């Protein structure tokens, strides 16, 4: 019988032990903010893949690459070995399709963090506000009160009211579940409309995360993507306005 | 692997044994009536927290406090030590997200009642009627016929027809499941519109519960909250009327 | 931990063994046809309760009687001891709330039939046609081809096309699952609109079932209930026609 | 307790071992394309039934044949013994009703392929495009890059963009899950509107599959069915046009 959750490390990884790594979770979510940040970092830092996670709680499908090669929906682990700054990344195709699966997967992710001796977890996500945001704030949450000053110093904002609904999925659960394991965890949420993939929110989150972990990441390409997106949105807004004007003219 | 349901007692509780306690369940539900009553009692009586319940059947999220500190969605146990009147309270963020989870959680709650040697269980809830209620009745149900006279003497009402759909969730299941364990259980349901958090219904339930358990609780602050809510509702009704009048004027 | 499905026989039953009983399933379903038939038979024959079934796959609620006494949602077993005609009845509040639960409960019901050495199973239900039916046919299905002549001789009808969607829930699954256990099983489905509780369809099913099992049941009261229902429906149809006439008048 | 998934081989099969068989999956899906192809092949080649699969993850129902004989919803295995070309077919009534069930069933199917020493798996399906298709392409996917040239030589098309959403259900999961077991697997998807059972798409898939596996299958009857379907659709389109013309006339 298939395991409910399977974690496999690549053979290439089995000899090496990351040293006091930071664990960065960037799974899909609102505005794909966390996913954009983590995948951009993996790309820019040249992190190497070290493992894969499959689960019956992920959607029951295969993903095709552009050549037609199929693979199961999965999550992946990457490792960046910096100078005294090892980073583990958790990225992937999907989160759980069921409530119970969210708990079981987040539990498995925390077990990985323990096994790899992560000294801190950063979970990344978007905070959906339902309208376009020009200068996205980065809201924070943490699983130990003493972490807040450090976050504020790096520009993380705290809003007594937001996010009022809590944090759903892996980005939230890992905060709660790592506390029980004695690992500090921080969630960074980029403000986003929530309607579109949002590289602007991602750039805001990455700027602050980079400062917090002390690993510089060149933001140029992400900012370019953000600018392109901004033009797309301006186009949409403009055409929407035009349409409304036309409607008015037509009606008038 | 994570447990489906985890019950943890605080170290501070482990030495002390409550004596013949009454078990009061006030989890979220219709009009938040049960939750309001139980949390108000905990506050006014100065009950102390003795344990926490986590479960994969609760929503997969963390709750943030106003400083950004995150914790898993959970239920909590509190203890009030009165003179010969120990009370255990079960309160929390959520009920189960699945049907099966409702059964499994209610079973765990009844196990707690057995373990703490509860001599009776009171489950609290709202009874939604779909319209505003001026003087909310408190309807009752029990898991042993002989309990009814005592309830009626305290002002609990019984309606042959209501609630026709039975009682759903922990407030209902604990009645059925504690019967099998030989524990008497009573459900008190405050009549409520079901649309809003309802401190008026809560005050009605608390007045009767206080009488039944012989523990006086000062109702002043809950009544104040009820009065404020009443004004809010009057405001809503008024503005709704105004709007309707305006519409009529406009159409006319 | 609670069992997923619990079957409890009453102490009063434990000494007696039914002799070659027939097993009659009448759980809730379309038009409540099966439930009406089985409960009517239990009442008219004076069958005695012998057991209860609880399960986390039933809805998570308690049912109240008219005095406010609460009990878990459940299914029940009744026994009628006739002369060489023992009958076991399976009736109850609900069927499963999940697909998997339907299988697990039907499996438990078949285990009961095996344990009580049932020589045949009759499952009862409604066959929804979406319009009012004046003289409801009783459609049949069986788990062994050789049973059909006997059914046809008793007035059961077979329609090559109906029911095209198969038979869902306990009435269907028990046919399939008892075949594997070597028990003959027959499903009788009364044609019904499917919109209302349908004593007419129930009377049709009962007349045929009574013939098949050789146990006479006085149909008078069920036919009376059917007549009352017919008047209610005529009233509805009439008022609907009137309304339509009025609308026409109004428009005209 | 019932097994979650039960696989039973017929006694007639137990002695014989298929030799290096190909495994062909044709379960229900978009346009019923895979099901049409596999059932047509079973019929035309005279493949024999060798086993049955039941599961609590299939819909909780029995299927009736035209005589009223009921059987559990199921999947079936058939074997065709060609000259050095043994074929195993997996067909059936339904796929899983839950996400987790899809994984568990696909895992069981792959176990069967391993047990029967399948040297390659072909999964068949439809690729829904949302509009009528005149000359349906057959899109491909595979679980090992080296398989692509052979597929292209047989006329399978690869589209960098399609199917963008991956492949859902058994046809997809078996590709991913057989890779882990070291079995080559290919998915063939016939382009189809997705609105109707589509024998045209099925004929396109079968023509290519027949070439790939080196087993000739007479397409005449499937092509006839496709022609009939084409006429039905033309009729629908025509009547739709007429209706639109009439509406215009009426309005005009």
Q: For C107-125, what is each residue's pLDDT tens digit?
A: 999 999 999 999 999 999 9
Whether the per-residue pLDDT at B249 is higher than 60: the answer is: no
Tokens of B163: 């609630």
d(CA A164, CA A216): 32
Whether the per-residue pLDDT at A244 is higher than 70: the answer is: no
* Confidence category of residue C242, pLDDT binned at 50, 70, 90: low
A140 chain-B contacts, CB cut-off 8 A = 68
Q: Sign of the CA dihedral A167, A172, A173, A176?
A: negative
Which residues, at least 6 apart from B107, have a Cβ–Cβ distance to it below 8 Å?
B177, C1, C2
* Confidence category of residue B187, pLDDT binned at 50, 70, 90: very high
Maximum average pLDDT range among A200-214, A218-232, C156-170? A200-214
8 Å CB contact between B33 and B195: no
8 Å CB contact between C141 and C174: no
Domain that holds residue A172: 5-218
Task: Compute CA A197 distance to the chain's CA centroid, rounded to the nearest angstrom.
Answer: 12
- Which of A57, A60, A70 is facing D141, going by the closest CB pair? A70
Mean pLDDT of C26-42: 97
The residue written with tokens 């305290």 in the block is: B154
**B interface residues, C as partner, C-beta within 8 Å:** 96, 99-100, 102-104, 106-107, 139-145, 148, 158, 160, 163, 165-169, 172-173, 175-177, 179, 187
Whether the per-residue pLDDT at C182 is higher than 90: the answer is: yes
Whether the per-residue pLDDT at A186 is higher than 90: the answer is: yes
D172 chain-A contacts, CB cut-off 8 A = 60-62, 70
Whether the per-residue pLDDT at B87 is higher than 90: the answer is: yes
Give domain status of residue D250, yes or no.
Answer: no
Whether the per-residue pLDDT at B56 is higher than 90: the answer is: yes
Express each pLDDT in A46-55 by its tens digit.
999 999 999 9
Give domain status of residue C176, yes or no.
Answer: yes
D100 chain-A contacts, CB cut-off 8 A = 56-57, 98, 101
Give domain status of residue C234, yes or no.
Answer: no
Q: Which of A187-196, C37-46, D231-240 has the lowest mean pLDDT?
A: D231-240
pLDDT of residue C250: 43
pLDDT of residue A80: 97
Express each pLDDT in D79-131 by its tens digit.
999 988 899 999 999 999 999 999 999 999 999 999 999 999 999 999 999 89
Burial environment of residue A240 by CB neighbours within 10 A (0 to 12, 13 to 18, 19 or more): exposed
pLDDT of residue D252: 35
Contacting chains of B (3 CB pairs or more, <8 Å) are: A, C
Tell me which residue of C95, C125, C128 sits closest to C195, measured CA to CA: C128
pLDDT of residue D235: 85
- Residue in D with minimal Cα distance to C185: D70
D71 chain-C contacts, CB cut-off 8 A = 143, 176, 179
Whether the per-residue pLDDT at B136 is higher than 60: the answer is: yes
Q: Say yes or no for a CB contact (<8 Å) between C169 and D61.
A: yes
pLDDT of residue A249: 46
Give domain status of residue C93, yes or no.
Answer: yes
In total, the C-beta contacts within 8 angstroms joining chain C to chain D are 78
Strands C75-81 vs D184-192: parallel, antiparallel or unpaired: unpaired
pLDDT of residue C116: 96
Residue B248, CA distances (Å) to A46, B238, B240 in order:
68, 15, 12
The residue written with tokens 């209302």 in the block is: C196
pLDDT of residue B237: 78
d(CA D179, CA C38): 53
pLDDT of residue D164: 79
Which residues, at least 6 apart from B184, have a Cβ–Cβ distance to it below 8 Å?
B119, B120, B121, B142, B143, B144, B147, B178
- Residue in B with minimal Cα distance to A103: B56
Mean pLDDT of D26-48: 97
Whether the per-residue pLDDT at D248 is higher than 60: the answer is: no
Which residues, at least 6 apart from A212, have a Cβ–Cβ distance to it below 8 Å?
A122, A150, A151, A154, A186
The CB density around residue A18, as the number of other CB atoms within 10 Å, is 18
Helix (H), strand (E), coil (C) string for B47-111: CEEEEEEEECCCCCEEEECCCCEEEECCEEEEEEECCCCEEEEEEECCCCCCHHHHHHHHHHHHH
Q: What is the CATH number of the domain that holds C180?
A: 3.40.50.10900
Q: Which of A64-78, A235-249, C50-64, D166-180 has the lowest mean pLDDT?
A: A235-249
d(CA A60, CA D110): 15
Whether the per-residue pLDDT at C160 is higher than 80: the answer is: yes
ipTM of the complex in this document: 0.91
Q: Which of residues B236 and B227 earns the better pLDDT score? A: B227
Give domain status of residue B228, yes or no.
Answer: no
Give domain status of residue C230, yes or no.
Answer: no
* Confidence category of residue D242, pLDDT binned at 50, 70, 90: low
d(CA A197, CA C211): 68
pLDDT of residue D249: 46
* Confidence category of residue A100, pLDDT binned at 50, 70, 90: very high
* Confidence category of residue B244, pLDDT binned at 50, 70, 90: low
Express each pLDDT in A131-183 by its tens digit.
988 899 999 999 999 999 999 999 999 998 888 779 999 999 999 999 999 99
- Residue in C with minimal Cα distance to D59: C99
Express each pLDDT in D218-236 by its tens digit.
999 999 999 998 898 888 8
d(CA A72, CA A61): 6
* Confidence category of residue A242, pLDDT binned at 50, 70, 90: low
Percent of chain A with pLDDT over 90: 80
C149 chain-D contacts, CB cut-off 8 A = none
Q: Which of residues B223 and A240 earns the better pLDDT score? A: B223
**A interface residues, D as partner, C-beta within 8 Å:** 1-2, 56-57, 59-64, 66-73, 97-98, 101
Count how many domains chain A has. 1
Tell me which residue of D213, D153, D230, D245 sits closest to D23, measured CA to CA: D213
């Amino acid at each position: 019988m298939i395991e409910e959750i399977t974690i496999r490390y690549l053979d290439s990884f089995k000899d090496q032990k990351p040293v006091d790594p930071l664990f960065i979770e960037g799974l899909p979510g609102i505005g794909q903010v966390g996913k954009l940040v983590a995948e951009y970092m993996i790309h820019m830092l040249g992190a190497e893949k070290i493992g894969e996670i499959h689960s019956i709680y992920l959607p029951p499908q295969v993903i095709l690459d552009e050549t037609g090669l199929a693979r199961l929906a999965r999550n992946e682990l990457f490792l960046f070995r910096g100078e005294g700054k090892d980073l583990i990344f958790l990225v992937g195709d999907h989160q759980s399709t069921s409530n119970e699966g969210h708990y079981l997967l987040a539990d498995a992710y925390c077990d990985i963090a323990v096994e790899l001796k992560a000294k801190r977890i950063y979970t990344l996500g978007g905070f959906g506000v339902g309208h376009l945001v020009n200068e996205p704030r980065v809201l924070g949450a943490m699983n130990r009160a003493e972490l807040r000053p450090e976050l504020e110093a790096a520009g993380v904002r705290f809003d007594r009211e937001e996010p009022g609904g809590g944090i759903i999925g892996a980005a939230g659960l890992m905060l709660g579940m790592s506390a029980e394991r004695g690992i500090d965890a921080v969630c960074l949420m980029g403000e986003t409309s929530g309607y579109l993939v949002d590289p602007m929110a991602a750039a805001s989150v990455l700027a602050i995360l980079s400062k917090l972990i002390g690993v510089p990441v060149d933001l140029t390409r992400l900012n370019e993507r953000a600018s392109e997106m901004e033009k797309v949105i301006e186009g949409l807004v403009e055409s929407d306005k035009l349409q409304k004007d036309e409607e008015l003219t037509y009606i008038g």
